[in-house]
Amino acid sequence: GENVEQHPSTLSVQEGDSAVIKCTYSDSASNYFPWYKQELGKGPQLIIDIRSNVGEKKDQRIAVTLNKTAKHFSLHITETQPEDSAVYFCAAWNTGNQFYFGTGTSLTVIP
C-alpha cells in the first residue's frame, strides 16, 4: 500500500514568517493530495488540495506544490498569524480506494 511521510512533526515560527511542511509518498499511482488543518478537539478541515496534473495551487496565504518525479508535495503558509496554529495533515489518494495520511505537523505561531 501507500506510505506517506510528513516532516517536521513540530514547527514554531514567528508571526509574519513563512511555514513549510513537506510530505513524501511511495506509490506513483497516487493522484490527489489534500491538506487538512485540525484544531484541538475538532475534526480536520480541508484547507487546500492538488491533483497530479497540476504542479502548484495557491489560495491567498496558502499554497501547495507537487513534484511527481520526486514524489513529494509541500504546504506553504505565508505571513503566518496566531490563528494558523494547529495540527496540519497531508494525505494521498491512490487506486487502493483510500486516503493515506501523514502523521501530522503541530504548527505554533508565536505572536
Interaction of residue 42 with other proteins, rule CB under 8 A: yes
- Out of 43, 53, 60, 69, name the contact with other proteins by CB under 8 A: 43
**CA–CA distances in Å: residue 65 to residues 14, 34, 70, 104:** 23, 11, 12, 18
CB atoms within 10 A of CB 96: 12
Question: How many residues sit close enough to other proteins to count as binding (CB under 8 A)?
Answer: 25
Interaction of residue 3 with other proteins, rule CB under 8 A: no
Interaction of residue 100 with other proteins, rule CB under 8 A: yes
Interaction of residue 50 with other proteins, rule CB under 8 A: no
Give the closest residue to 12 by CA, choosing from 91, 104, 80: 80
Single out the segment in contact with other proteins by CB under 8 A; choices: 13-21, 37-45, 59-67, 68-76: 37-45
For residue 38, list its beta bridge partners. 87
Are residues 100 and 34 in contact, defined by beta-carbon separation less than 8 angstroms? no
**Cell matching residue 2:** 501507500
User: For binding to other proteins (CB under 8 A), which residues are involved?
Assistant: 1, 4, 6, 9, 32, 34, 36, 41-46, 49, 89, 91, 93, 97-104
